[in-house]
Structure 1
Amino acid sequence: MSSMKRYSLRLACGTMSLATLLVGATGCGEPEPFKVSEACGARFDPDLIGRLLPRGDEVVPDDTFSEPRQLRCEFAVDGQEQVGLRGDVVEPFVKPLEVKESVMLRLGDPAPADIGDGATISDHGAMALKACTYKGERMQYVLAIDGVEDPKDITERRHLLEKFLRSQLPVAMEEEGCRP
């Protein structure tokens, strides 16, 4: 091999190595989102719930207050409680979106969303409901998430909250035994 070819080969390899280092370095600033596939007795799309949690070293779910018909899951990141998730089987005459209207206002700029039988997406939380049959009785299932501060871009956060509800509502209903 001529010296010119060897020089060109070394230059190309050096350039590829530098490009590889730069690509690897771009992800070094902030930890990756958590991958949570199961917590508090519920299954999750690991890519969705993790993107709604702040970045950190450790996520610990707590379901101390969960009971049958009432999923309660609080996610603590690096020892600080951050995001709360609640699922409830409620009577069909209850109007959760009306009852929680002030809560959704407090969570910032609530807007309706076409999920289940009704939903509201706010800047820092969301809620959706769907009619179902629970132990032979007509009921409805309500899924709510709050305390969401990530991602920092509010438009992206609201999009992820909507995507999370679309994905999680049928899963949570099924796990609670609430059939559409």
Structure 2
Amino acid sequence: MGGSPHTLCVPAGCSSSDDYTVPDALCGVTVGSEPLAPLLPDGEKSVCSVSVDKKQAVYVTDGVTDAETDPVAVQRDALARMGNPQKAAVGDDARIADQGGVAVGVCTYQGRRQKFVTLVDLTSNHPVPKRTADRRKALESFLRAYLPKAMEAKGCRK
């Protein structure tokens, strides 16, 4: 994590006021702090793991759609806004952009074949990591860790 990274705190807390605890769960899904940490800027505290210093840094949304819908096509404009979306090996389909990404997993939900979709958007004007290649790698790693656990948490089975 080059530069001046935030410190990952243990439950007992950190000794410096410049640090905050990176949460293990995001939107009710436990993924561990490691995949999320590279996407968060330095700051004093995080709230709900998407805000740092009261400014939203990472926005994550997910949901279930019918099997015929192409979530990547539906998110085309959002992905274009995020910059240079490229196919990624996450779930059954995914695109990683410069400031976000979308991942799709095919599953059975309430007895029917469906698609589970996760969208992550780095909402900050100064997303981290600073280097785009590092940020894209961190986004892919986060989606790879988050998608299957989010699917499981929402009752969408492979």
Q: TM-score, normalised by structure 2?
A: 0.83
Q: 1:64 aligns to what?
A: none
Once the 2 structures are TM-superposed, how far is the Cα of residue 30 of structure 1 from its aligned partner?
A: 4.8
Query: Between Structure 1 and Structure 2, how many residues are aligned?
Result: 142
Deviations 1:90-137 (A, max 9, x none): 111111100111110110111011221110000000111011001111
Q: Return the structure number with greater relative CO, CA threshold 8 A, min gap 6.
A: 2
Once the 2 structures are TM-superposed, how far is the Cα of residue 45 of structure 1 from its aligned partner?
A: 2.3
Identical columns (%): 35
Q: 1:53 aligns to what?
A: 40
Q: 1:175 aligns to what?
A: 153
Deviations 1:124-164 (A, max 9, x none): 00111011001111111001100261110110110111111
Query: Where does structure 2 lack aligned partners over 5 or more consecutive residues?
Result: 9-20
- Select the residue among 38, 45, 48 that pairs with 2:25: 38
Q: Is the 8 A contact 1:36 1:47 kept in 2?
A: no
Once the 2 structures are TM-superposed, how far is the Cα of residue 166 of structure 1 from its aligned partner?
A: 1.1
Matched, 1:109 2:84: yes
Q: 1:16 aligns to what?
A: none
Q: Is the 8 A contact 1:48 1:160 kept in 2?
A: yes
More displaced, 27-36 or 119-128? 27-36
Q: 2:17 aligns to what?
A: none
Alignment of 1:21-32 (within 5 A): 29-32=4-7
Q: Is the 8 A contact 1:123 1:158 kept in 2?
A: yes
Matched, 1:157 2:144: no
Q: TM-score, normalised by structure 1?
A: 0.73
Query: Where does structure 1 lack aligned partners over 5 or more consecutive residues?
Result: 1-26, 62-73
**Rg larger in 1 or in 2?**
1
Two-structure CA RMSD over aligned residues (Å): 1.9
